[in-house]
Chain A
Amino acid sequence: MKRDGSTLMEVAMVLPAICMLLVLALQTIRHTFRSASLAKDRDHTMQVLSRLERQVREDFHEATSVQTIRPPNPQTNQFQLLLTDSSSVDYQWNNSSIVRTKKIKDEAIAIDKFPLFENLEVDFQSEDVGSKQHLPFQRVAILLYRAIPGASENKRLELQIRILIPLQPL
């Protein structure tokens, strides 16, 4: 004779399995949306990094010297490139973005913002090399890191720019 329903034991076995499957399905949907959002952020970050790299290299090629300025607020750092006697470019950064300000006689004429990512760390290095090809150079390195709290590799390198600035005209 054909049964019309299921026993309590059968239902008790099937229901948890269905619940587990539904939870997994929801997790998958959540991960999919999160991955899409992360991929979009990543794409945006790569575009900004590329724009920043091009801009920094252009500015450094025009520069005659670099000086680092460290204001009292430890959350904000900046460095300044002297292009000519009257014009300069300031790069200032905080926890998530970099702002470039071009100045002529201390008056801002252009401001560019490079929104990057949270936990941005900038390592700015500058040293006089002495001589290279018999001319003194200033070696400048700008390294952008993304700090990852709780990860085994706690800093991830995102951008590295190294440039030699001749201290005398070539």
Chain B
Amino acid sequence: MRKALLKMELLAATLLLTVAIAGTPSLFRKIHSLQDASRIYHLAIQELSNHMESLTRMSPSNCEEALDSIVVSAELKQQIPESSIRGQITQDGDAWKIVLSIQLPVQHRSEPIQLIGWLFDGEKL
């Protein structure tokens, strides 16, 4: 039975350890960016919910006006400068459909996040 290691074996083990250690910083960076992306996603959802809450309290004509001038809140803009929001309202039978979408920077999410709300005519319900 051998009592020692060959230099070649030690060299190979050291090389493997070096490669493993060298790969970890990028993994830590990835974890950090994923956590940040998750925070940004939640903020975007909250932004859409805040706007939708206000819009669903309006009449369809006021809602259309508000959608023409809709902008991302100053606080969110400060955190995510490249974010933008837009929305549209369409009539669907007796109801009005409001579609809000927020576009985040590509590094966080390439597709816009959408939230759909409905306005019903109280008199017809």
**A→B interface (CB under 8 Å):** 17-18, 21, 24-25, 28, 31-32, 35, 38-39, 42, 46, 49-50, 53, 57, 132-133, 143, 153, 156-164, 166, 170
Residues in B neighbouring A160, C-beta threshold 8 A: 43, 46-47, 50, 73, 75-76
Could you jot down 19 A-B contacts, CB within 8 Å?
A18-B14, A21-B18, A32-B24, A35-B31, A42-B38, A46-B38, A57-B53, A132-B62, A133-B59, A133-B62, A156-B39, A156-B79, A157-B79, A159-B46, A160-B47, A160-B75, A162-B53, A162-B73, A170-B57
How many angstroms from the CA of A32 to the CA of B25 in the assembled complex? 10
Number of interface residues of B (CB under 8 A): 27
B73 proximity list for chain A (CB < 8 A): 160, 162
B5-57 interface with A by 8 A CB criterion: 14, 17-18, 21, 24, 28, 31, 35, 38-39, 42-43, 46-47, 49-50, 53-54, 57
User: Given the complex of chains A and B, what is the CA–CA distance between A161 and B46 in angstroms?
Assistant: 7
Cβ-closest chain A residue relative to B35 = A42
B residues neighboring A (CB under 8 Å): 14, 17-18, 21, 24, 28, 31, 35, 38-39, 42-43, 46-47, 49-50, 53-54, 57-59, 62, 73, 75-76, 78-79
Q: How far is the CB of B34 from chain A (nearest CB, A)?
A: 9
Q: Is the interface of B mostly helix, strand, loop or mixed?
A: helix
Given contacts A18-B14, A42-B35, A133-B58, contact A157 B42 (CB under 8 A): no
Instruction: Give the residues in chain A near B18, CB-CB below 8 Å.
Output: 21
Residue of A nearest to B32 (CB): A35
- Are B46 and A53 interface neighbours, CB within 8 A? yes
Are A31 and B24 interface neighbours, CB within 8 A? yes
